[in-house]
A and B are shown apart, each in its own frame.
Chain A
Amino acid sequence: MTKIAFEIHDMTVAYYRRPVLWDIDLTVPEGKLVGIVGPNGAGKTTLIKAALGLVSLASGKVEIYGKSYAEQRRLVGYVPQRESVDWDFPVTVRDVVLMGTYGRLGWFRRPGRAERQIAERCLEQVDIHSLANRQIRQLSGGQQQRVFLARALAQQAQLYFLDEPFAGVDAATEGAIIELLHTLRSGGKTVLVVHHDLQTVREYFDYVILLNMRLIACGDIESTFTNENLHKTYGGRLTLLDEAAEAMRKQEPL
């Protein structure tokens, strides 16, 4: 039996007393590429932030490999949304990637040779090695996303949370990210990705969490990413066009 990498029990999250996520209950087995899918305001980012302890839970608990996040945070890598930081900040690409190693370094210690080697490897893995000394403002959107990915890789985690890594990136970067996800999966890692584009869910992921303030469904893509579940997730917002595209896709052999 495969291990459970990530588990949420009866979790409710509220901002200013308005619940954003209600009674979420789900488990994700190790080694899956998981798409977190749902309409705007469905609480996808909140789900990730709650898992990482960045927002406080109104009730319930989150477990990473059977223990609380605080005990297991070394096992977790995080890619926040690209807009969440000031890209004019005076750091180079290499500086940002090195930040991934800070968690392991602990108080007061500076990154040494071992950390630098990790950073170099991660830079190579996302193919931005030649940009290592650039200030981060001088990069394109796709390159900035790769910097964040390299930083998460430098965390050397088992479980990764990626918040909209495909937003505003070029086709080449999208392909590179997908390739990276596959590499991670074959290394036994588990990756959860907030994803917007319904058309590519089936192609990119093998497990899916459908979310709209409540958990609609969670499971293997084949059994879970169904028209019926999508309808429940998006309600009237799933347009006819999307439905048609989805129907066509279903007829195609995968």
Chain B
Amino acid sequence: MDGLSLSEKVMIGTALLGGMSGVVGSFAVLRGRSLVGDMLAHAALPGVCLAFLLMGTRNLLGLSLGALASGLVAIAAVTVIVRWTRTKEDAAIGIVLSTFFGAGVVLLSVIQKPSVGGNKAGLNLYLFGEPANMLTGDLFLLAGVAVVVLLTVAMLFKEFQLVCFDTDFAQSQGWPTLGLDLAMMAALAVVTVVGLPIVGVILMAAMIILPAATARFWTNRLHILLLLAGALGVAAGLLGSHLGRNFPAGASIVLTATALFVVSLLFAPQRGVVARVVAEWRLRRRISREHLLRSLYELGEPRLPLVAELRVEQLRTYRYWKPKLLERLLQWAVAGELVKVAENQVQLTPLGLRRAAELTRTHRLWETYLMQQANIAADHVDRDADETEHLLPAAVLLELEQQLEEAGRLPRAIADVPQSPHELEPPPPKPKRKKPQS
């Protein structure tokens, strides 16, 4: 490995760190412990300084052990505070985090005094991280930690999943939930500590949280989430250390991870912002189109089988339309040959009549169901029906209709609604609107 150039070492090291912090961070995020990583990172600083004061050298393993020790003391402190006082966990984390970090900064300034010996160059880089200081031995340490941590997660996947999802249930099955929690926490602590010299105390939390939060946008399965978070962490490490060659490495890695997060937040299918906005917009468009057709059907219904010519004004008073909405809807309906519009008069075409009749049938079916099954007051039904009928899958509608028919409760008017445009000439028997309660 001595043949590696520094930039290659940096890339391998940051990729290893990104991968394992992504995997371990996933459990922390899902367990609602995102901030524990942050606390561990900050709390590590006094440990690093004390280890340096004791050893007098900047040996990564020694400093890491110091960091780990003070991180564990911090976790114990939080546990004690939450357990024995009325302080909430987030407040306790905040208190411990800043106290330990403050102590670390004080110790750091003590070390900088000329009276303290040893090679202290680069020790303050623990604050912001500097992978360029990486030695080949450090790389072995990172790789070793990565192997151990990933193996642990692979072996205990089932147990970790259960504890994260439902601790009480896990405990009722006899799992040692406290021990499993501690194992997850220990993995988090180890990863945090080996990551400190690379991305620094302040930015380590981002390495823990960002890959997991990003991966959550793309999958609903835990094992895929873990793999994806690991891959995203590797990608952030590689890209960040490569793109950010001329900038502090920790910052550019974290910014790369953030970029991946933002892209996912916007463009992920289903959970992404864009997908959600588009889906909502489509739904609203569909609902208002269906409202137009149903209004036309209901207004013309008394005169069926004649297909009535209606004034646009009639539509306007029949239902509230947002400004300009009715014009746009009519344009759409004309383009789809569902209506004919001439001189402010609207008339359904045969195709439009068929579609409108179908929609009305669905609507009334649902109305009936709501009134008879859900005991909703009759005068409240219409609004509820409007909101839900568009969401019902076809299979449910069919079942509904069957249920009502079997019970002899399918209103005649609904059964009579025309099914095909061809039957419209000559026109079908006149459907009657019959409210079930009348």
Render B26-47 as a binary contact track against A, CB cut-off 8 A, 1 for contact: 0000101000000000000000
Pick out which of these stretches binds chain B: A7-15, A24-32, A87-95. Answer: A87-95
Which residues of the partner chain B approach A105 to less than 8 Å between Cβ atoms?
158
* 29 A–B contacts from the bound complex (CB under 8 Å): A52-B171, A52-B172, A53-B172, A54-B168, A54-B171, A76-B172, A80-B166, A84-B168, A89-B30, A89-B164, A90-B220, A90-B222, A90-B225, A91-B161, A91-B165, A91-B220, A91-B222, A92-B221, A95-B222, A99-B161, A99-B162, A102-B159, A102-B173, A102-B175, A103-B174, A105-B158, A108-B155, A109-B158, A135-B220
A96 at the interface (CB under 8 A from B): yes
CB-based nearest A residue for B32: A86
Known contacts A90-B216, A91-B161, A92-B221: A108-B156 contact under CB 8 Å: yes
Using Cβ atoms and an 8 Å threshold, which residues of chain A touch B172?
Answer: 52-54, 73, 76, 78
Residue numbers in A under 8 Å from B158 (CB-CB): 102, 105, 108-111
Q: Is A85 an interface residue (CB 8 A)?
A: yes
Which residues of A in the span 63-87 have a Cβ within 8 Å of any Cβ on B? Answer: 70, 73, 76, 78, 80, 84-86
Residues of A near B171 (CB, < 8 A) are 52-54
Number of interface residues of A (CB under 8 A): 31
Q: How long is the Cα–Cα vector from A86 to B163 in the complex, in angstroms?
A: 12
Give the docked Cα–Cα distance between A26 and B162 (Å).
32
Q: Does B318 contact A (CB under 8 A)?
A: no
Q: Which A residues have a C-beta under 8 Å from some C-beta of B? A: 49, 52-54, 70, 73, 76, 78, 80, 84-86, 89-92, 95-96, 99, 102-103, 105, 107-111, 135, 151, 155, 171
Complex-state Cα separation, A108 to B166, whole angstroms: 18
We find that the number of chain B residues with CB closer than 8 angstroms to chain A is 27
- In the assembly, what is the distance between CA of A92 and CA of B169, in Å? 17
Determine the chain B residues whose CB is within 8 A of the CB of A80 once the complex forms: 166, 168-169
- Apart from A53-B172, A78-B168, what 7 extra A-B contacts exist at CB < 8 Å? A80-B168, A89-B222, A90-B220, A91-B165, A95-B222, A99-B165, A110-B157
| Shortest 5 CB-CB contacts between residues of A and residues of B | A103-B173, A135-B220, A52-B172, A78-B172, A85-B166
- Kindly supply a per-residue 1/0 record for chain B positions 198-228, scoring 1 wherever the CB is within 8 Å of any chain A CB and 0 otherwise: 0000000000000000001001111001000
Which residues on A sit within 8 Å (CB–CB) of B30? 86, 89-90
Contact A99-B166, Cβ < 8 Å, known A76-B172, A90-B216: yes
B165 CB to nearest chain A CB (Å): 5
Q: Which residues of chain B in 266-284 are interfacial with respect to chain A, using CB atoms and an 8 Å cutoff?
A: none
Bound complex: CA A85 to CA B32 (Å): 12
Complex Cα gap A111–B159 (Å): 12
> What is the minimal beta-carbon distance from A233 to any residue of chain B, in angstroms?
26
| Residues A73 and B174 in contact in the complex (CB < 8 Å), given A80-B168, A89-B30, A108-B156 | yes
A139 to chain B, nearest CB (A): 12
Given contacts A90-B30, A92-B221, are A73 and B173 in contact (CB under 8 A)?
A: yes
A46 to nearest B CB, angstroms?
12
Contacts of B155 in A (CB 8 A): 108
